[in-house]
Structure 1
Amino acid sequence: MTSLVIIKTGDAFPEVVDQHGDFEQLFIEQLSAVLPAHLSLAIWDARLTSTPPANVAGAVITGSHSMVSNKEPWSEALKPWLQQALAEDIPLLGVCYGHQLMAAALGGISDYHPAGRESGTRRVQLTRAGQQDPLFSQLPESFPAHLTHAQSVMKLPTNTTVLAHNSHDAHQALRYGPRQWSVQFHPEFTPPVMHAYIERQRAALRDQGEDPEELLVAVTDTPDASSLLRRFLAFV
């Protein structure tokens, strides 16, 4: 049997892990109920081994509290695999750190955003290309999504299509090939997980002039963003 591999690139905060599960568990909860019979789910912790599981049919790359620009050895070791996956048309979906790492692996630049951190439930807008994209076209033109990131894709790789943006980040969603996408937002997050991240970041958010209480009140369900995970399975 072939596997949809969840490439683990980091751990969530301890209180998130205790109450809601680690990053990979959040993906498993979204995907397991709708997983096709021909697929199984496998976890590849890229921090522990550079060897992927056998029979990879597709991959989702998780978020992380690491920074792509730090070029940690395990992170750099993933880049050639991502390049090869694109060349072989293996379906990919990068999320947050996975989004930034895919862009960096394929010739772009990911680094700290000059406007600072983006956290909370924010609206994301599809581009014209996004409205015509096979994965994104069923989404409304504007939809809420959960976000928490200090780095962004600052320079696009060549031959990359921007599918979504917002006022903070011009590169909220990208397509690199026929079945290779990435998103800056977190389709796997639930409102309680988003709340926990804002609570943990209170001081940093205040320091950049944001009101954590307003961000907490604004957290809402994000069914359109979450639906991307289920729709991605159709391409695997």
Structure 2
Amino acid sequence: MQSNASGIRKARVVVLKTGSTYPDLKARFGDFDQWFLRGLSDELDITVANAEAGELPGNPEDWDGIVVTGSPAMVSDRAEWSENAGRWLVRAVESEVPVLGVCYGHQLLAHALGGEAGYHPKGRETGTHEVELLPAAASDALFRDLPTRFPAQLTHRQSVLRLPEGAVLLGRNRFEPHQAFRVGPCAWGVQFHPEFTDAVMSAYLRVQAPDLTREGLDAEALMSGVKPAPDASSLLPRFSQLVKDRLR
């Protein structure tokens, strides 16, 4: 157990890794878990658990915070490892352990809590796109103080098609009605990627370009539209601070 200079133990956060990025991107930028580690506070005691390989790190109550990564897998396939991780997350939500699910993690959280995840009827959303926050975000512990509209990095073919009962919708855009939600006091799902840099987003689009063209999307326009998304990325230090504050 790690402590800071004042002798107070560091907040313990587990990153549930639910997959890996493209090999070329992994060689250049590292894998999903490393992108989150760069965004989360170095004042946290962070452990990475490979949920895709069946690793579930003890009891959810053992942790001060939980982050769930994106994945090339599909929640609707209901793989055994994914369903097990979903049940584990339900216990975390019931115990009011702070949770941040991103992309696959967002969809898995919704599915596990009784919502629905599946293929978006309009296909893929990828690139840098604007997210609009709803009035409920103004009083939300994670989203308050963010601007009403901000750019975010996105790449997904599946979405949260139906929110869990009692979920609070926090963000949306023209393509995706469920960009962000909260369940209970401290479990959040976000469809966008706060861990992506603009360089990572550009690299994704270059890999995806042939598929985007086949799907009728303008790959060149999407690549030229990539820009930094600092407000979206701020969710990782914001979540870090929230977890640390709850430990005090």
Q: Which moved more, 1:48-57 or 1:201-210?
A: 48-57
Aligned partners of 2:68, 2:149: CA distance in 1, in Å?
Answer: 24
Report the Cα offset of residue 35 of structure 1: 3.1
CA apart distance, 1:50: 3.9
1:162–1:175 CA contact under 8 A, matched in 2: yes
Task: Show CA shifts across 1:200-222 (max 9, x none).
Answer: 11122112321111111110001
SS of residue paired to 1:187: coil
19-28 vs 130-139, which deviates more?
A: 130-139
1:12 is aligned to 2:17: no
* Alpha carbons 1:96, 1:149 under 8 Å: kept: yes
Quote the Cα distance in structure 2 between the aligned partners of 1:40 and 1:50. 18
Measured in 1, the distance between the counterparts of 2:160 and 2:127 equals 19
Paired AA for residue 47 in structure 2 = A
How many residue pairs were aligned? Answer: 232
Which residue is 2:32 aligned to? 23
Q: 1:68 aligns with which of 51, 58, 75?
A: 75
Please show how residues 4-153 of structure 1 align to structure 2 within 5 Å.
Answer: 4-31=13-40, 34-36=41-43, 39-53=44-58, 55-153=62-160
Structure 1 CA distance for aligned equivalents of residues 56 and 38 of structure 2: 25
- Secondary structure, aligned partner of 1:194: helix
- For residue 231 of structure 2, what is the aligned residue in structure 1? 224
Q: Normalization by structure 1: what TM-score?
A: 0.95
Q: Distance in 1 between matches of 2:39 and 2:22?
A: 19
Contact 1:179 1:235 in 2 (8 A): no
Other-structure match for 2:6: none
Output the aligned Cα RMSD: 1.2
Question: Which runs of 5 or more residues in structure 2 are unaligned?
Answer: 2-10, 244-248
Counterpart of 1:210 in structure 2 is 217
Q: With structure 2 as the length reference, what TM-score do the two structures score?
A: 0.91
Deviations 1:51-110 (A, max 9, x none): 315731111000000000000110011111111000100000000000000000000000
Structure-2 separation of matches of 1:214 and 1:50: 40
Contact 1:50–1:77 (8 Å) recurs in 2: no
Conserved? CA contact 2:106–2:189, under 8 Å = yes
Provide the secondary structure at the position in 2 that maps to 1:201: helix
| Residues 23-44 of structure 1 deviation map (CA, whole Å, 9 limit, x = unaligned) | 000011112xx333xx301001
SS at match of 1:7: strand
C-alpha separation in 2, matches of 1:101 and 1:207: 28
Q: Aligned partners of 1:154 and 1:48: how far apart in 2?
A: 27
Q: Quick one: which amino acid aligns to residue 35 of structure 2?
A: L
Q: More deviation in 204-213 or 94-103?
A: 204-213
SS in 1 for 2:52: coil
CA drift at 1:135: 0.8
Partner of 1:234: 241
SS in 1 for 2:160: strand
Separation of aligned partners in 1, 2:80 and 2:65: 23
Structure 1 unaligned runs (5+)? none
